[in-house]
Structure 1
Amino acid sequence: MIEDGRTQRRRTRRRGDLPIATIAELAGVSPPTVSKVLNGRGGVGEQTRQRVEALLRDHGYRRPLPTRTSQGLEVVFHQMLGSIAIEIMRGVEAVAGTRDCTVGFTDVHRQVSAGLPWVEPLLLRQPRGVIAALSGLTAQHCELLAASGVPLVAIDPVGDLFPTAAVGTNNWSGAVAAARYLLDLGHRRIGVLTGPAKDLSSRARLDGFRAALDHAGIPFDESLLRRGVFTFEDGRDLGRELLTLPEPPTALVCGDDLQAIGVYEAARQTGLRIPDDLSVVGFDDIDQAAWLAPALTTVRQPFAEMGATAARLVLALADGKSLTQHRYEMDTVLVVRGSAAPPRAR
């Protein structure tokens, strides 16, 4: 049987060589629309964008990229507190520097706020690997990076992104240590501020707090629980709700240090003194924790170590190695300062 030239070309075409015009025809859009998706530009509806991206992935498309001029790692943030981001970058740089690998960073707040994609523009820089330290990382983002052959490691993701490797801390044991410290001081009526229910770290910290109370034989009082987000404003507002109860708590465990700083303001507004009238414990140990008066007792997360671990993992993946596990957890430590004391007799 004699094959014509078109048949031969179809049979010899490699995955990823499908023309943009063909992708456009399959997606029911124009070639310029496919080009916009490839280059991360706006002006494309979300459903259309997803349809085009799916076709590109299905056909193993590899977009033509500039010649690689560096072996760089990209660290992606989204409105992360500066002191935490700097520590993560410091850890990444410490590892990357030993491999003659440059490090860049991107804050995708503008793209996310405008509903624009951020993965595609990142891929145009052809990074050796990506470290994502942002709560909005989704399975679709992971798939896009995987389809382009770019290894990814997530730092403290909100949900389970298996098989994407993740680096975090033992939030459960950190919360246990915080609660036990307050229990050992004599507190029994302890309030809790936590983060979004969908957040894995929030759930782990709340579970650890419950476990510490359960081990001490103290029932958990649901009326002393408030869910919010990890911000100063929620710490202030939710803290004020608890502190103005007819029977307020004598201590508060906060989901992070920003919430704890907000509780300091709530205590000021309600005429309470820390730690004389109220004990407060945070989580993270950001720089500002040591600057408060009194300095904040908090659970320290080793952000530099997390960044270094993520860098080692993503470079191993870039070298074609397999990882031995899906999630890597660092230890936390309770840093005792001046914001907690035994409860006053009432």
Structure 2
Amino acid sequence: MAGEATRSVRRITIGDVARSANVSEATVSKVLNGRRGVGGDTRERVQDVVRELGYVSISERQGSLRRVGEATIEVLLEPHDVDNPYFSTFIGGAVQQAADSAAALLVRPVTSIDERFDLRWAQSVARAGRVGVIELTSAYSAHRENALRAVGLPMVLVDPIDRPRPSTPSIGATNWAGAYEAAQHLLSLGHRRIDYIGGPPKARCDEVRAHGWAAAMGDAGIAVDIEAVPREAYSFEHGLRAATALLQRPDPPTAIFAGSDISAKGVLEAARRLGVLVPRDLSVVGFDDTYLAQTSTPPLTTVHQPIADIGRTAVSTLLRLAAGDALATRRIELATHLVIRDSTAPPSPRNPNEGRP
């Protein structure tokens, strides 16, 4: 149920198990440690409650940590994200911070977790000696976070797509400011017909970027329709399809701002196929500043977000939570800035859309 998914869940204790099974804590302890003196029916009832509530004892977790010999963090991601340069840059920073902290990372595809058995997954994570989970996925799951809280493990989200509850720690970048600066750059060059190509529908980070673009356009006296922004997964294919449609309109844009570098690469390819020269006929701006921006033709003007630092911060934050430290803030945003390269220029005097409001 929705209410169950969103309410805060505390860690399950041995007392909770004892009350649910209608036995003493001593009896629960005997069952968990495999000791004698407990009837078969009672033992089975306690084991059922342990599975149902997702209880993992401190001794189980500490024993696993001793066997593993180091703190291990589980990282959840979408399988298709492996091809996105954002992920490789993020993991590079996360691995570096983990090494500096004598910790390790284990990457798991989120698709391997059956939502019907979130508690079982969380129990297996705790019993394997993990100290917490970093989630880098397309959809935040309150069920997964609740399951982790039940077994006493923290979760940290990275630029979450959905809006998590305020108490959930999350790391990201100044998406609004970065998008505003990108649009302002294009406006300062003289562009007025500037379209935005977005990311996953209802993605929180992309909604913020779209609003940053719209705010800059509005400040310049240009009305835009955020609802008309083409939205799909950040990908080369989405950038290609969306830009092709925009450039084939009767009133094509003189500039396109894409919500990611990989989408911007698709924009550049659409322009190439249509014989539109960049930046003479079309200026293009991306977001991320991955290696794609430097190696594209022409090199891409883009919003730099400190992706490796986000990875480092996610790991350090998770380790602090695992150690029981309090966070000064639950939301950390690292600063962005615009990197100007060769994909942007003033609109061509021959472009009929130049100066059009």
* TM-score bracket for the superposition, by shorter chain length: 0.7 to 0.9
CA distance in 1: counterparts of 2:298 and 2:255, whole angstroms: 15
* Distance across 2 between alignment mates of 1:74 and 1:185: 45
Q: Partners of 1:296 and 1:214 in 2: how far apart?
A: 25
Report matched runs for 1:46-65 at 5 Å.
Answer: 55-57=52-54, 60-62=55-57
- Corresponding position of 1:88: 90
1:166 to 1:222, Cα distance in 2 relative to 1, 3 A: closer
Q: Is the 2:77–2:136 Cα contact (8 Å) retained in structure 1?
A: yes
**RMSD after superposition:** 3.1
Q: Matched residues in 2 for 1:220 and 1:280: separation?
A: 18
- 1:75 is matched by which residue type in structure 2? V
* Alignment of 1:307 onto 2:320: no
**CA positional deviation for 1:205:** 0.4
Counterpart of 1:72 in structure 2 is 72
| Equivalent position of 1:145 in the other structure | 148
Partner of 1:107: 108
Give the structure 2 partner of residue 289 of structure 1. 293
Secondary structure of the equivalent of 2:314?
helix
> 1:11 — aligned with what?
24
The partner residue of 1:211 within 203, 208, 215 is 215
Structure-2 change in CA distance of 1:225 and 1:12 (3 Å)? closer
Pair 1:288–1:112, CA change in 2 (3 A)? farther
Partner amino acid, structure 1, of 2:341: R
1:339, CA displacement in angstroms? 0.6
CA spacing shift, 1:211–1:20, aligned 2, 3 Å: farther
Deviation at 1:282, TM superposition (A): 0.6
Residues 224, 249 of structure 1: 8 Å contact kept: no
| 2: CA distance, partners of 1:209 / 1:261 | 19
User: How far, CA to CA, are the matches of 2:86 and 2:332 in structure 1?
Assistant: 19
Displacement of 1:9 after TM fit?
8.1
TM-score, normalisation: structure 2? 0.78
1:159 is aligned to 2:167 = no
1:4-62 Cα distance to aligned partner (Å, 9 max, x none): xx999813357786878327877xxxxxxx9xxxxxxxxxxxxxxxxx7xx324xx454
* Post-superposition CA distance 1:75-119 (Å, at most 9, x none): 3322324533333233233333343x2222313165169998665
Q: d(CA) in 1 for partners of 2:144 and 2:206?
A: 23
Cα separation, partners in 2 of 1:24 and 1:15, compared to 1, 3 Å? closer
| CA distance in 1 between partners of 2:76 and 2:336 (Å) | 23
Aligned with residue 21 of structure 1, among 44, 47, 50: 44
Task: Provide structure 1 residue ranges, at least 5 long, that are not aligned to the other structure.
Answer: 1-5, 27-33, 35-51
Contact 1:257 1:298 in 2 (8 A): yes
Question: 1:272 Cα shift?
Answer: 0.7
The separation in 2 between residues aligned to 1:82 and 1:209, in whole angstroms, is 23
TM-score normalised by structure 1 residue count: 0.80
Q: Describe the superposition over 1:291-346 as per-residue Cα deviations: whole angstroms up to 9, x where unpaired.
A: 11101111111111111111221121112111111210000111111111111123
Task: From 247, 250, 255, give the equivalent of 1:246.
Answer: 250
Aligned pairs, number:
312
Task: Give the distance between the partners of 2:342 and 2:233, measured in 1 at CA.
Answer: 25
| Mean Cα deviation higher: 286-295 or 204-213 | 286-295
In the alignment, structure 1 residue 125 sits paired with structure 2 residue 122:
no
Question: Matched residues in 1 for 2:256 and 2:329: separation?
Answer: 35
How far apart, in 1, do the equivalents of 2:183 and 2:89 lie? Answer: 26
Contact 2:78 2:111 in 1 (8 A): no
Post-superposition CA distance 1:58-79 (Å, at most 9, x none) = xx45495663222222333223
AA aligned to 1:104 is L
Corresponding residue for 2:6?
A: none
Could you say if the C-alpha distance between residues 102 and 242 of structure 1 is closer, same or farther in structure 2, counting changes exceeding 3 Å? same
SS at match of 1:343: coil
For structure 2, the residue ranges without an aligned partner over 5 or more in a row are: 1-17, 33-41, 353-357
Q: Which of the numbers 258, 261, 264 marks the counterpart of 2:268?
A: 264
Quote the Cα distance in structure 1 between the aligned partners of 2:346 and 2:286. 17
Q: Following the alignment from structure 2 to structure 1, what is the Cα–Cα distance between the partners of residues 114 and 22?
A: 44
Q: 2:25 is matched by which residue type in structure 1?
A: T
Contact kept, 8 Å, 1:90 with 1:307, in 2: the verdict is yes
Q: Which residue of 1 aligns with 2:7?
A: none
Contact preservation (8 Å) 1:276, 1:341: yes
Q: Distance in 2 between matches of 1:223 and 1:109?
A: 29
The amino acid across from 1:11 in the alignment is S
Counterpart contact for 1:282–1:296, Cα < 8 Å: yes
Label 1:123 to 1:182 Cα distance change in 2 as closer, same or farther (>3 A).
same
For residues 107 and 299 of structure 1, what CA distance do their matches in structure 2 show?
29
Taking a change above 3 Å as real, the CA distance of residues 72 and 196 of structure 1, as seen in their structure-2 partners, is closer
Q: Distance in 2 between matches of 1:314 and 1:198?
A: 26
